[in-house]
DNA sequence: ATGCCTTACGTTATACGTAATTATT
DNA sequence: AATAATTACGTATAACGTAAGGCAT
Protein backbone atom coordinates (compact mmCIF):
# COMPACT_ATOMS: atom_id res chain seq x y z
CA UNK A 1 0.00 0.00 0.00
CA UNK A 2 1.08 3.57 -0.58
CA UNK A 3 1.60 5.85 2.39
CA UNK A 4 0.24 9.17 3.64
CA UNK A 5 3.78 10.44 3.37
CA UNK A 6 3.56 10.10 -0.39
CA UNK A 7 0.18 11.79 -0.61
CA UNK A 8 1.62 14.76 1.24
CA UNK A 9 4.46 14.86 -1.24
CA UNK A 10 1.99 14.78 -4.10
CA UNK A 11 0.14 17.74 -2.63
CA UNK A 12 3.44 19.54 -2.09
CA UNK A 13 4.34 19.12 -5.74
CA UNK A 14 1.02 20.66 -6.69
CA UNK A 15 1.55 23.49 -4.25
CA UNK A 16 5.16 24.25 -5.12
CA UNK A 17 4.83 23.57 -8.85
CA UNK A 18 8.16 21.82 -9.41
CA UNK A 19 9.63 18.71 -7.90
CA UNK A 20 12.80 20.54 -6.89
CA UNK A 21 10.91 23.30 -5.14
CA UNK A 22 8.62 20.83 -3.39
CA UNK A 23 11.59 18.77 -2.21
CA UNK A 24 13.10 21.88 -0.72
CA UNK A 25 9.98 22.57 1.33
CA UNK A 26 9.65 18.94 2.35
CA UNK A 27 13.24 18.98 3.59
CA UNK A 28 14.34 16.07 1.44
CA UNK A 29 16.58 15.96 -1.58
CA UNK A 30 15.17 16.25 -5.05
CA UNK A 31 16.11 12.69 -6.11
CA UNK A 32 14.51 11.29 -2.97
CA UNK A 33 11.23 12.97 -3.85
CA UNK A 34 11.51 11.85 -7.46
CA UNK A 35 11.84 8.23 -6.43
CA UNK A 36 9.19 8.45 -3.77
CA UNK A 37 6.71 9.65 -6.37
CA UNK A 38 7.84 6.91 -8.73
CA UNK A 39 7.09 4.39 -5.99
CA UNK A 40 3.66 5.92 -5.50
CA UNK A 41 2.91 5.54 -9.20
CA UNK A 42 4.16 1.98 -9.11
CA UNK A 43 1.98 1.21 -6.14
CA UNK A 44 -1.07 2.77 -7.76
CA UNK A 45 -0.22 1.10 -11.08
CA UNK A 46 -0.94 4.41 -12.74
CA UNK A 47 1.09 7.25 -14.20
CA UNK A 48 0.32 10.53 -12.49
CA UNK A 49 2.46 12.93 -14.53
CA UNK A 50 3.24 13.88 -18.03
CA UNK A 51 7.02 13.61 -18.17
CA UNK A 52 8.28 16.24 -20.53
CA UNK A 53 11.88 15.35 -19.71
CA UNK A 54 12.37 18.73 -18.20
CA UNK A 55 9.08 19.28 -16.46
CA UNK A 56 6.49 17.34 -14.46
CA UNK A 57 2.84 18.17 -15.02
CA UNK A 58 -0.11 16.33 -13.57
CA UNK A 59 -2.01 14.23 -16.06
CA UNK A 60 -5.69 13.28 -15.77
CA UNK A 61 -5.00 10.53 -13.25
CA UNK A 62 -2.68 12.83 -11.34
CA UNK A 63 -5.39 15.41 -10.91
CA UNK A 64 -7.81 12.77 -9.77
CA UNK A 65 -5.17 11.46 -7.36
CA UNK A 66 -4.73 14.96 -5.95
CA UNK A 67 -8.42 15.12 -5.12
CA UNK A 68 -8.24 11.85 -3.27
CA UNK A 69 -5.01 12.83 -1.55
CA UNK A 70 -6.62 15.99 -0.27
CA UNK A 71 -9.60 14.11 1.13
CA UNK A 72 -7.45 11.43 2.72
CA UNK A 73 -5.05 13.90 4.32
CA UNK A 74 -7.96 15.93 5.59
CA UNK A 75 -9.53 12.89 7.17
CA UNK A 76 -6.21 11.85 8.66
CA UNK A 77 -5.64 15.24 10.21
CA UNK A 78 -9.16 15.23 11.53
CA UNK A 79 -8.46 11.85 13.08
CA UNK A 80 -5.43 13.15 14.93
CA UNK A 81 -7.08 16.38 16.04
CA UNK A 82 -10.25 14.75 17.21
CA UNK A 83 -8.42 12.04 19.15
CA UNK A 84 -6.18 14.54 20.91
CA UNK A 85 -9.07 16.83 21.74
CA UNK A 86 -11.21 13.99 23.04
CA UNK A 87 -8.46 12.55 25.18
CA UNK A 88 -7.49 15.93 26.60
CA UNK A 89 -11.11 16.61 27.50
CA UNK A 90 -11.26 13.23 29.17
CA UNK A 91 -8.21 14.07 31.25
CA UNK A 92 -9.26 17.48 32.53
CA UNK A 93 -11.89 18.38 35.08
CA UNK A 94 -13.54 21.73 34.50
CA UNK A 95 -14.87 23.58 37.53
CA UNK A 96 -17.12 26.60 37.21
CA UNK A 97 -18.02 28.88 40.11
CA UNK A 98 -19.90 32.10 40.74
CA UNK A 99 -17.20 33.21 43.16
CA UNK A 100 -13.46 32.66 43.52
CA UNK A 101 -13.20 31.59 47.17
CA UNK A 102 -14.62 28.04 46.90
CA UNK A 103 -12.31 27.33 43.98
CA UNK A 104 -9.29 28.00 46.17
CA UNK A 105 -10.09 25.03 48.36
CA UNK A 106 -11.88 22.82 45.90
CA UNK A 107 -9.23 22.80 43.17
CA UNK A 108 -6.42 21.36 45.31
CA UNK A 109 -8.79 18.83 46.83
CA UNK A 110 -10.03 17.55 43.47
CA UNK A 111 -6.47 17.54 42.22
CA UNK A 112 -5.44 15.36 45.15
CA UNK A 113 -8.32 12.97 44.48
CA UNK A 114 -7.35 12.72 40.79
CA UNK A 115 -3.65 13.40 40.46
CA UNK A 116 -3.59 12.19 36.83
CA UNK A 117 -6.07 14.84 35.73
CA UNK A 118 -5.54 18.48 35.15
CA UNK A 119 -8.00 20.85 36.77
CA UNK A 120 -9.32 23.86 34.99
CA UNK A 121 -11.53 26.42 36.69
CA UNK A 122 -13.27 29.66 35.88
CA UNK A 123 -15.74 32.19 37.23
CA UNK A 124 -19.05 32.45 35.43
CA UNK A 125 -22.62 33.65 35.92
CA UNK A 126 -25.19 31.36 37.49
CA UNK A 127 -27.04 30.67 34.25
CA UNK A 128 -23.95 29.78 32.26
CA UNK A 129 -22.83 27.48 35.05
CA UNK A 130 -26.09 25.55 35.07
CA UNK A 131 -26.04 25.28 31.30
CA UNK A 132 -22.40 24.22 31.37
CA UNK A 133 -23.13 21.47 33.87
CA UNK A 134 -25.83 20.10 31.61
CA UNK A 135 -23.69 20.03 28.45
CA UNK A 136 -20.57 18.77 30.25
CA UNK A 137 -18.59 21.95 29.78
CA UNK A 138 -18.21 21.75 33.56
CA UNK A 139 -17.98 18.59 35.59
CA UNK A 140 -18.50 20.57 38.82
CA UNK A 141 -20.19 23.91 39.37
CA UNK A 142 -20.46 26.05 42.50
CA UNK A 143 -23.43 28.38 42.98
CA UNK A 144 -25.52 29.81 45.78
CA UNK A 145 -28.64 28.10 44.44
CA UNK A 146 -29.27 24.55 45.74
CA UNK A 147 -32.01 23.85 43.15
CA UNK A 148 -31.18 20.84 40.98
CA UNK A 149 -32.79 18.06 39.00
CA UNK A 150 -32.74 14.37 39.70
CA UNK A 151 -29.53 13.62 37.85
CA UNK A 152 -27.55 16.07 39.90
CA UNK A 153 -25.80 15.70 43.24
CA UNK A 154 -25.88 18.83 45.43
CA UNK A 155 -23.50 19.34 48.33
CA UNK A 156 -23.58 22.10 50.91
CA UNK A 157 -19.94 23.01 50.46
CA UNK A 158 -19.13 26.14 52.47
CA UNK A 159 -20.37 29.49 53.66
CA UNK A 160 -18.87 32.84 52.84
CA UNK A 161 -19.70 36.01 54.76
CA UNK A 162 -18.72 39.45 53.56
CA UNK A 163 -16.97 41.96 55.78
CA UNK A 164 -15.85 45.48 55.23
CA UNK A 165 -12.36 46.31 56.45
CA UNK A 166 -11.89 49.88 57.61
CA UNK A 167 -8.97 51.89 58.88
CA UNK A 168 -9.41 52.45 62.65
CA UNK A 169 -9.86 56.14 62.00
CA UNK A 170 -12.84 55.57 59.73
CA UNK A 171 -16.16 57.02 61.05
CA UNK A 172 -17.85 53.60 60.79
CA UNK A 173 -14.96 51.68 62.31
CA UNK A 174 -16.56 51.52 65.72
CA UNK A 175 -19.77 49.77 64.55
CA UNK A 176 -20.47 46.13 65.43
CA UNK A 177 -22.10 45.50 62.04
CA UNK A 178 -23.15 47.29 58.89
CA UNK A 179 -25.31 47.03 55.81
CA UNK A 180 -23.95 47.68 52.35
CA UNK A 181 -26.34 50.64 52.17
CA UNK A 182 -24.39 52.27 55.00
CA UNK A 183 -21.33 52.36 52.76
CA UNK A 184 -23.17 53.79 49.75
CA UNK A 185 -21.38 56.75 48.27
CA UNK A 186 -17.96 55.80 49.57
CA UNK A 187 -15.12 54.84 47.25
CA UNK A 188 -14.16 51.29 48.03
CA UNK A 189 -11.47 48.83 46.97
CA UNK A 190 -12.71 45.83 45.06
CA UNK A 191 -11.02 42.70 43.73
CA UNK A 192 -12.15 42.43 40.14
CA UNK A 193 -12.48 38.64 39.87
CA UNK A 194 -15.12 38.23 42.58
CA UNK A 195 -17.87 36.94 40.32
CA UNK A 196 -21.40 37.48 41.56
CA UNK A 197 -20.39 39.66 44.54
CA UNK A 198 -19.78 42.64 42.36
CA UNK A 199 -23.31 42.81 41.00
CA UNK A 200 -24.77 42.75 44.51
CA UNK A 201 -22.47 45.46 45.79
CA UNK A 202 -23.14 47.70 42.82
CA UNK A 203 -26.88 47.28 43.27
CA UNK A 204 -26.78 48.16 46.97
CA UNK A 205 -24.23 50.94 46.63
CA UNK A 206 -25.26 52.73 43.45
CA UNK A 207 -23.46 55.92 44.39
CA UNK A 208 -20.11 54.35 45.27
CA UNK A 209 -17.06 54.23 43.13
CA UNK A 210 -15.45 50.81 42.96
CA UNK A 211 -11.72 50.87 42.56
CA UNK A 212 -11.14 47.63 40.70
CA UNK A 213 -7.91 45.71 41.04
CA UNK A 214 -6.95 42.55 39.14
CA UNK A 215 -3.89 41.58 41.04
CA UNK A 216 -4.39 40.12 44.47
CA UNK A 217 -1.03 41.27 45.78
CA UNK A 218 -1.50 44.76 44.51
CA UNK A 219 -4.90 44.82 46.14
CA UNK A 220 -3.41 43.91 49.50
CA UNK A 221 -0.74 46.52 49.10
CA UNK A 222 -3.42 49.12 48.48
CA UNK A 223 -5.39 47.92 51.47
CA UNK A 224 -2.37 48.34 53.68
CA UNK A 225 -1.27 51.73 52.49
CA UNK A 226 -4.52 53.50 51.70
CA UNK A 227 -7.28 54.70 53.98
CA UNK A 228 -9.94 53.30 51.64
CA UNK A 229 -12.55 50.81 52.83
CA UNK A 230 -12.24 47.34 51.27
CA UNK A 231 -14.07 44.04 51.26
CA UNK A 232 -12.97 40.81 52.95
CA UNK A 233 -14.68 37.55 53.82
CA UNK A 234 -14.38 34.81 56.39
CA UNK A 235 -12.56 32.82 53.72
CA UNK A 236 -10.14 35.44 52.48
CA UNK A 237 -9.51 35.64 56.22
CA UNK A 238 -7.04 37.81 58.04
CA UNK A 239 -4.89 39.45 55.47
CA UNK A 240 -1.49 40.90 56.31
CA UNK A 241 -3.29 44.21 56.46
CA UNK A 242 -5.73 43.13 59.09
CA UNK A 243 -3.60 44.42 61.97
CA UNK A 244 -4.15 47.95 60.83
CA UNK A 245 -7.78 47.36 59.97
CA UNK A 246 -11.11 46.82 61.64
CA UNK A 247 -13.29 44.06 60.14
CA UNK A 248 -16.98 44.84 60.37
CA UNK A 249 -19.49 42.15 59.34
CA UNK A 250 -22.13 43.00 56.77
CA UNK A 251 -25.65 41.91 57.59
CA UNK A 252 -27.33 41.89 54.14
CA UNK A 253 -28.67 38.42 53.44
CA UNK A 254 -27.27 38.44 49.91
CA UNK A 255 -23.66 38.71 51.08
CA UNK A 256 -23.79 35.87 53.54
CA UNK A 257 -23.87 32.99 51.18
CA UNK A 258 -23.92 29.23 51.26
CA UNK A 259 -22.07 27.77 48.27
CA UNK A 260 -23.49 24.60 46.85
CA UNK A 261 -21.38 22.25 44.83
CA UNK A 262 -23.16 20.35 42.02
CA UNK A 263 -22.12 17.52 39.76
CA UNK A 264 -23.88 14.91 37.67
CA UNK A 265 -24.78 11.65 39.34
CA UNK A 266 -22.94 9.98 36.46
CA UNK A 267 -19.75 11.47 37.97
CA UNK A 268 -20.56 10.43 41.53
CA UNK A 269 -17.78 7.89 41.65
CA UNK A 270 -15.28 10.60 40.70
CA UNK A 271 -16.41 13.20 43.18
CA UNK A 272 -18.06 11.38 46.10
CA UNK A 273 -14.99 11.85 48.28
CA UNK A 274 -15.03 15.61 48.15
CA UNK A 275 -15.58 16.81 51.71
CA UNK A 276 -17.52 19.99 52.56
CA UNK A 277 -15.69 22.62 54.53
CA UNK A 278 -18.65 23.25 56.84
CA UNK B 1 2.57 11.90 10.40
CA UNK B 2 1.39 8.34 10.97
CA UNK B 3 1.08 5.99 8.00
CA UNK B 4 -1.62 3.91 6.35
CA UNK B 5 0.48 0.91 7.18
CA UNK B 6 -0.18 1.54 10.86
CA UNK B 7 -3.89 2.01 10.37
CA UNK B 8 -4.04 -1.36 8.65
CA UNK B 9 -2.23 -2.87 11.58
CA UNK B 10 -4.73 -1.28 13.93
CA UNK B 11 -7.60 -2.81 11.99
CA UNK B 12 -5.81 -6.15 11.96
CA UNK B 13 -5.53 -6.10 15.74
CA UNK B 14 -9.25 -5.48 15.96
CA UNK B 15 -9.93 -8.29 13.52
CA UNK B 16 -7.55 -10.85 14.99
CA UNK B 17 -8.15 -9.91 18.63
CA UNK B 18 -4.58 -10.25 19.88
CA UNK B 19 -1.40 -8.56 18.86
CA UNK B 20 0.36 -11.89 18.35
CA UNK B 21 -2.37 -13.22 16.13
CA UNK B 22 -2.55 -10.01 14.13
CA UNK B 23 1.23 -9.99 13.67
CA UNK B 24 1.02 -13.50 12.28
CA UNK B 25 -1.52 -12.48 9.66
CA UNK B 26 0.41 -9.32 8.82
CA UNK B 27 3.54 -11.40 8.29
CA UNK B 28 5.63 -9.48 10.75
CA UNK B 29 6.93 -10.44 14.16
CA UNK B 30 4.98 -9.71 17.29
CA UNK B 31 7.51 -7.22 18.69
CA UNK B 32 7.57 -5.36 15.38
CA UNK B 33 3.82 -4.89 15.54
CA UNK B 34 3.98 -3.90 19.19
CA UNK B 35 6.47 -1.15 18.44
CA UNK B 36 4.68 -0.02 15.31
CA UNK B 37 1.52 0.52 17.32
CA UNK B 38 3.50 2.31 20.01
CA UNK B 39 4.80 4.65 17.33
CA UNK B 40 1.26 5.23 16.14
CA UNK B 41 0.17 6.17 19.65
CA UNK B 42 3.17 8.45 19.99
CA UNK B 43 2.36 10.12 16.72
CA UNK B 44 -1.27 10.59 17.65
CA UNK B 45 -0.27 11.68 21.16
CA UNK B 46 -2.99 9.42 22.46
CA UNK B 47 -3.19 6.01 24.12
CA UNK B 48 -5.32 3.62 22.11
CA UNK B 49 -5.29 0.55 24.35
CA UNK B 50 -5.87 -0.51 27.87
CA UNK B 51 -2.66 -2.39 28.70
CA UNK B 52 -3.56 -5.23 31.01
CA UNK B 53 0.00 -6.57 30.89
CA UNK B 54 -1.24 -9.71 29.24
CA UNK B 55 -3.90 -8.37 26.96
CA UNK B 56 -4.48 -5.37 24.72
CA UNK B 57 -7.99 -3.98 24.58
CA UNK B 58 -9.08 -0.89 22.74
CA UNK B 59 -9.94 2.06 24.96
CA UNK B 60 -12.33 4.84 24.05
CA UNK B 61 -9.76 6.61 21.87
CA UNK B 62 -8.80 3.32 20.29
CA UNK B 63 -12.37 2.66 19.21
CA UNK B 64 -12.63 6.14 17.80
CA UNK B 65 -9.33 5.61 15.99
CA UNK B 66 -10.65 2.40 14.49
CA UNK B 67 -13.59 4.26 12.99
CA UNK B 68 -11.27 6.77 11.39
CA UNK B 69 -8.88 4.07 10.25
CA UNK B 70 -11.70 2.25 8.53
CA UNK B 71 -12.83 5.38 6.72
CA UNK B 72 -9.31 6.34 5.70
CA UNK B 73 -8.44 2.88 4.44
CA UNK B 74 -11.70 2.73 2.54
CA UNK B 75 -10.99 6.03 0.87
CA UNK B 76 -7.43 4.97 0.08
CA UNK B 77 -8.58 1.75 -1.54
CA UNK B 78 -11.19 3.65 -3.47
CA UNK B 79 -8.46 5.97 -4.67
CA UNK B 80 -6.39 3.12 -6.00
CA UNK B 81 -9.32 1.28 -7.58
CA UNK B 82 -10.76 4.32 -9.22
CA UNK B 83 -7.42 5.42 -10.64
CA UNK B 84 -6.67 2.01 -12.07
CA UNK B 85 -10.15 1.68 -13.54
CA UNK B 86 -10.05 5.14 -15.07
CA UNK B 87 -6.63 4.63 -16.60
CA UNK B 88 -7.54 1.20 -17.96
CA UNK B 89 -10.68 2.64 -19.52
CA UNK B 90 -8.55 5.34 -21.08
CA UNK B 91 -6.31 2.73 -22.62
CA UNK B 92 -8.97 0.44 -24.11
CA UNK B 93 -11.20 0.94 -27.08
CA UNK B 94 -14.63 -0.63 -26.77
CA UNK B 95 -16.38 -1.69 -29.95
CA UNK B 96 -20.03 -2.70 -30.00
CA UNK B 97 -21.75 -4.31 -32.95
CA UNK B 98 -25.11 -5.80 -33.83
CA UNK B 99 -23.39 -8.63 -35.71
CA UNK B 100 -20.08 -10.47 -35.39
CA UNK B 101 -18.74 -10.27 -38.92
CA UNK B 102 -17.69 -6.58 -39.02
CA UNK B 103 -15.84 -7.03 -35.75
CA UNK B 104 -13.62 -9.65 -37.32
CA UNK B 105 -12.11 -7.12 -39.68
CA UNK B 106 -12.47 -3.97 -37.63
CA UNK B 107 -10.76 -5.20 -34.47
CA UNK B 108 -7.40 -6.00 -36.08
CA UNK B 109 -7.50 -2.78 -38.06
CA UNK B 110 -8.14 -0.60 -35.00
CA UNK B 111 -5.52 -2.56 -33.11
CA UNK B 112 -3.00 -1.82 -35.83
CA UNK B 113 -3.86 1.89 -35.74
CA UNK B 114 -3.45 1.98 -31.93
CA UNK B 115 -1.01 -0.72 -30.91
CA UNK B 116 -0.73 0.69 -27.36
CA UNK B 117 -4.43 0.20 -26.69
CA UNK B 118 -6.33 -2.93 -25.94
CA UNK B 119 -9.44 -3.55 -27.98
CA UNK B 120 -12.57 -4.94 -26.42
CA UNK B 121 -15.64 -5.85 -28.45
CA UNK B 122 -19.11 -7.25 -27.90
CA UNK B 123 -22.40 -7.94 -29.64
CA UNK B 124 -25.37 -5.91 -28.47
CA UNK B 125 -28.82 -4.77 -29.59
CA UNK B 126 -29.19 -1.63 -31.64
CA UNK B 127 -30.65 0.45 -28.83
CA UNK B 128 -27.97 -0.45 -26.33
CA UNK B 129 -25.31 0.34 -28.90
CA UNK B 130 -26.66 3.82 -29.57
CA UNK B 131 -26.96 4.47 -25.86
CA UNK B 132 -23.47 3.11 -25.27
CA UNK B 133 -22.02 5.40 -27.92
CA UNK B 134 -23.59 8.40 -26.18
CA UNK B 135 -22.31 7.56 -22.70
CA UNK B 136 -18.87 6.45 -23.92
CA UNK B 137 -19.35 2.81 -23.06
CA UNK B 138 -18.39 2.26 -26.70
CA UNK B 139 -16.01 4.37 -28.71
CA UNK B 140 -17.19 2.69 -31.94
CA UNK B 141 -20.49 1.00 -32.73
CA UNK B 142 -21.59 -0.91 -35.82
CA UNK B 143 -25.27 -1.03 -36.78
CA UNK B 144 -27.41 -1.25 -39.89
CA UNK B 145 -28.96 2.14 -39.17
CA UNK B 146 -27.09 5.14 -40.62
CA UNK B 147 -29.13 7.68 -38.62
CA UNK B 148 -26.93 9.83 -36.40
CA UNK B 149 -26.76 13.25 -34.80
CA UNK B 150 -24.36 16.05 -35.54
CA UNK B 151 -21.63 14.93 -33.14
CA UNK B 152 -21.33 11.55 -34.76
CA UNK B 153 -19.29 10.36 -37.71
CA UNK B 154 -20.97 7.64 -39.81
CA UNK B 155 -19.05 5.44 -42.23
CA UNK B 156 -20.46 2.97 -44.73
CA UNK B 157 -18.26 0.11 -43.57
CA UNK B 158 -19.30 -3.10 -45.34
CA UNK B 159 -22.17 -5.14 -46.67
CA UNK B 160 -23.19 -8.58 -45.52
CA UNK B 161 -25.57 -10.82 -47.47
CA UNK B 162 -27.11 -13.93 -46.05
CA UNK B 163 -27.05 -17.29 -47.84
CA UNK B 164 -28.42 -20.62 -46.97
CA UNK B 165 -26.10 -23.59 -47.56
CA UNK B 166 -27.81 -26.79 -48.48
CA UNK B 167 -26.67 -30.32 -49.13
CA UNK B 168 -26.88 -30.99 -52.89
CA UNK B 169 -29.65 -33.53 -52.22
CA UNK B 170 -31.85 -30.97 -50.54
CA UNK B 171 -35.16 -30.25 -52.41
CA UNK B 172 -34.37 -26.52 -52.55
CA UNK B 173 -30.74 -27.00 -53.57
CA UNK B 174 -31.47 -26.33 -57.22
CA UNK B 175 -32.99 -22.86 -56.73
CA UNK B 176 -31.15 -19.69 -57.79
CA UNK B 177 -32.46 -17.79 -54.85
CA UNK B 178 -34.79 -18.14 -51.87
CA UNK B 179 -36.67 -16.19 -49.27
CA UNK B 180 -36.45 -17.07 -45.60
CA UNK B 181 -40.13 -17.92 -45.75
CA UNK B 182 -39.29 -20.74 -48.13
CA UNK B 183 -37.29 -22.38 -45.37
CA UNK B 184 -39.96 -21.98 -42.72
CA UNK B 185 -40.63 -25.17 -40.86
CA UNK B 186 -37.22 -26.70 -41.53
CA UNK B 187 -34.70 -27.35 -38.80
CA UNK B 188 -31.65 -25.27 -39.45
CA UNK B 189 -28.15 -24.86 -38.01
CA UNK B 190 -27.47 -21.49 -36.46
CA UNK B 191 -24.39 -19.91 -34.91
CA UNK B 192 -25.57 -18.52 -31.59
CA UNK B 193 -23.48 -15.32 -31.49
CA UNK B 194 -24.91 -13.75 -34.63
CA UNK B 195 -26.57 -10.81 -32.96
CA UNK B 196 -29.46 -9.24 -34.79
CA UNK B 197 -29.65 -11.93 -37.48
CA UNK B 198 -31.31 -14.35 -35.16
CA UNK B 199 -34.33 -12.16 -34.46
CA UNK B 200 -34.96 -11.67 -38.17
CA UNK B 201 -34.72 -15.36 -38.94
CA UNK B 202 -37.00 -16.32 -36.09
CA UNK B 203 -39.59 -13.78 -37.21
CA UNK B 204 -39.58 -15.00 -40.82
CA UNK B 205 -39.39 -18.69 -39.94
CA UNK B 206 -41.72 -19.03 -36.96
CA UNK B 207 -42.19 -22.76 -37.46
CA UNK B 208 -38.51 -23.67 -37.77
CA UNK B 209 -36.32 -25.16 -35.09
CA UNK B 210 -32.97 -23.43 -34.74
CA UNK B 211 -30.17 -25.70 -33.67
CA UNK B 212 -27.92 -23.29 -31.82
CA UNK B 213 -24.19 -23.80 -31.64
CA UNK B 214 -21.72 -21.63 -29.66
CA UNK B 215 -18.51 -23.00 -31.04
CA UNK B 216 -17.58 -22.03 -34.53
CA UNK B 217 -15.52 -25.14 -35.18
CA UNK B 218 -18.22 -27.42 -33.91
CA UNK B 219 -20.69 -25.61 -36.11
CA UNK B 220 -18.55 -26.24 -39.19
CA UNK B 221 -18.15 -29.84 -38.24
CA UNK B 222 -21.92 -30.18 -38.02
CA UNK B 223 -22.35 -28.40 -41.36
CA UNK B 224 -19.99 -30.86 -42.97
CA UNK B 225 -21.40 -34.04 -41.48
CA UNK B 226 -25.12 -33.35 -41.24
CA UNK B 227 -27.73 -32.91 -43.93
CA UNK B 228 -29.19 -29.88 -42.16
CA UNK B 229 -29.52 -26.52 -43.89
CA UNK B 230 -27.30 -23.81 -42.42
CA UNK B 231 -26.64 -20.09 -42.84
CA UNK B 232 -23.61 -18.45 -44.36
CA UNK B 233 -22.78 -14.96 -45.59
CA UNK B 234 -20.50 -13.33 -48.14
CA UNK B 235 -18.17 -12.51 -45.24
CA UNK B 236 -18.10 -15.87 -43.49
CA UNK B 237 -17.28 -16.88 -47.07
CA UNK B 238 -16.44 -20.29 -48.34
CA UNK B 239 -16.19 -22.55 -45.36
CA UNK B 240 -14.38 -25.86 -45.49
CA UNK B 241 -17.83 -27.37 -45.92
CA UNK B 242 -18.67 -25.41 -49.05
CA UNK B 243 -17.41 -28.10 -51.37
CA UNK B 244 -20.18 -30.40 -50.31
CA UNK B 245 -22.74 -27.65 -50.13
CA UNK B 246 -24.77 -25.43 -52.39
CA UNK B 247 -24.95 -21.75 -51.41
CA UNK B 248 -28.27 -20.14 -52.26
CA UNK B 249 -28.66 -16.39 -51.79
CA UNK B 250 -31.57 -15.09 -49.71
CA UNK B 251 -33.52 -12.20 -51.15
CA UNK B 252 -35.23 -10.71 -48.10
CA UNK B 253 -34.18 -7.07 -47.71
CA UNK B 254 -33.55 -7.48 -44.02
CA UNK B 255 -30.80 -10.05 -44.51
CA UNK B 256 -28.79 -8.06 -47.04
CA UNK B 257 -27.37 -5.45 -44.79
CA UNK B 258 -25.08 -2.48 -44.96
CA UNK B 259 -23.14 -2.06 -41.73
CA UNK B 260 -22.46 1.48 -40.66
CA UNK B 261 -19.66 2.32 -38.34
CA UNK B 262 -20.25 5.26 -35.96
CA UNK B 263 -18.02 7.15 -33.60
CA UNK B 264 -18.09 10.53 -31.91
CA UNK B 265 -16.54 13.44 -33.75
CA UNK B 266 -14.48 14.00 -30.61
CA UNK B 267 -12.70 10.75 -31.48
CA UNK B 268 -12.21 11.61 -35.14
CA UNK B 269 -8.48 11.94 -34.75
CA UNK B 270 -8.31 8.42 -33.36
CA UNK B 271 -10.46 6.70 -35.96
CA UNK B 272 -10.23 8.75 -39.17
CA UNK B 273 -7.83 6.26 -40.73
CA UNK B 274 -10.20 3.34 -40.55
CA UNK B 275 -10.90 2.24 -44.13
CA UNK B 276 -14.25 0.80 -45.24
CA UNK B 277 -14.18 -2.65 -46.78
CA UNK B 278 -16.56 -1.66 -49.57
C1' DA C 1 24.38 28.52 -18.80
C1' DT C 2 20.94 27.48 -15.75
C1' DG C 3 16.88 24.87 -14.26
C1' DC C 4 14.65 20.52 -13.82
C1' DC C 5 14.22 15.64 -13.66
C1' DT C 6 16.26 10.96 -13.63
C1' DT C 7 19.74 7.32 -12.79
C1' DA C 8 23.61 5.40 -10.15
C1' DC C 9 25.82 4.40 -5.97
C1' DG C 10 27.44 4.38 -1.36
C1' DT C 11 25.55 5.42 3.27
C1' DT C 12 22.45 5.95 6.99
C1' DA C 13 18.50 5.44 9.67
C1' DT C 14 14.54 3.19 10.53
C1' DA C 15 12.04 -0.77 11.17
C1' DC C 16 12.78 -5.60 11.51
C1' DG C 17 13.69 -10.33 13.73
C1' DT C 18 15.73 -13.00 17.54
C1' DA C 19 16.20 -13.51 22.22
C1' DA C 20 15.22 -12.42 26.81
C1' DT C 21 11.80 -10.56 30.39
C1' DT C 22 7.54 -10.05 32.76
C1' DA C 23 3.02 -11.10 33.67
C1' DT C 24 -1.34 -13.68 33.30
C1' DT C 25 -4.16 -17.84 32.82
C1' DA D 1 3.37 -24.80 30.92
C1' DA D 2 1.39 -21.86 27.63
C1' DT D 3 -0.09 -17.46 25.95
C1' DA D 4 0.67 -12.51 25.48
C1' DA D 5 2.93 -8.23 25.57
C1' DT D 6 7.11 -5.45 26.22
C1' DT D 7 12.15 -4.47 26.23
C1' DA D 8 16.89 -5.05 24.48
C1' DC D 9 20.01 -5.60 20.87
C1' DG D 10 22.19 -6.69 16.62
C1' DT D 11 20.94 -6.69 11.72
C1' DA D 12 19.02 -5.81 7.28
C1' DT D 13 16.45 -3.34 4.20
C1' DA D 14 14.50 0.58 2.45
C1' DA D 15 14.87 5.36 1.86
C1' DC D 16 18.17 8.92 1.83
C1' DG D 17 21.88 12.21 0.09
C1' DT D 18 25.68 13.05 -3.06
C1' DA D 19 27.26 12.83 -7.53
C1' DA D 20 26.64 12.39 -12.36
C1' DG D 21 23.95 12.55 -16.66
C1' DG D 22 20.47 14.12 -20.00
C1' DC D 23 17.50 17.38 -21.77
C1' DA D 24 15.17 21.31 -22.04
C1' DT D 25 14.67 26.68 -21.92
Whether the pLDDT of residue A177 is over 60: the answer is yes
Q: Which nucleotides of D are covered by protein (CB under 7 A)?
A: 3-8, 15-20, 22-25
Say which range, A46-55, B167-176, B181-190, B216-225, has the weakest mean pLDDT. B216-225
Residue ranges matching CATH 1.10.10.10 in chain B: 4-89
Whether the pLDDT of residue A218 is over 70: the answer is yes
Whether the pLDDT of residue A242 is over 80: the answer is no
Read off the pTM. 0.71
Residue ranges matching CATH 3.40.190.10 in chain B: 91-157+257-271, 159-256
Q: What does the alpha-carbon distance between residue A96 and residue A139 come to, in Å, rounded to a whole number?
A: 8
Q: Using the beta-carbon criterion (under 8 Å), do A76 and B78 form an inter-chain contact? A: no
| Burial of B57 (C-beta count, 10 Å sphere; 0-12/13-18/19+) | exposed
Q: Which CATH architecture has domain A4-89?
A: Orthogonal Bundle (1.10)
Confidence of residue A241 (pLDDT cuts 50, 70, 90): low
Average pLDDT, chain B: 92
Distance from CA of B218 to the nearest CA of A (A): 41
Q: What is the mean pLDDT of residues B2-18?
A: 95
Q: Which nucleotides of C are covered by protein (CB under 7 A)?
A: 3-8, 15-20, 22-25
Q: List all residues of chain A from 69 to 108 with a beta carbon under 8 Å from chain B.
A: 69, 71-72, 75-76, 78-80, 82-84, 86-87, 90
Q: What is the pLDDT of residue A236?
A: 82
Cα(first)–Cα(last) distance of chain A, in Å?
Answer: 64
Name B residues 50-79 whose Cβ lies under 7 Å from strand D: 51, 53-56
Q: Which CATH architecture has domain B91-157+257-271?
A: 3-Layer(aba) Sandwich (3.40)
Predicted confidence (pLDDT) per residue in B232-248, tens digit: 999 886 555 556 788 99
Q: Which of B4, B12, B75 to mutate to test the interface with A (most CBs of A within 10 A)?
A: B4
Selecting from 2.115.10.20, 3.40.190.10, 3.40.50.300, 3.20.20.70, what CATH number does the domain B159-256 have?
Answer: 3.40.190.10
Query: Contact B166/B173 with Cβ under 8 angstroms?
Result: yes
Amino acid sequence: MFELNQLEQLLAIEKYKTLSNAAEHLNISQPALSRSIQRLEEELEVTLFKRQKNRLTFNEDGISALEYARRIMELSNEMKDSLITASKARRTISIGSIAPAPIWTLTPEVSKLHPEMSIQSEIETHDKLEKGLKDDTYQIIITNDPAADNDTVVIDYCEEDLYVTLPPAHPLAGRDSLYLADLNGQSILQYSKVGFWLDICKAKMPDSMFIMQDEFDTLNELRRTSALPAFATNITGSTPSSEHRVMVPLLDDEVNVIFYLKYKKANRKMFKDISPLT
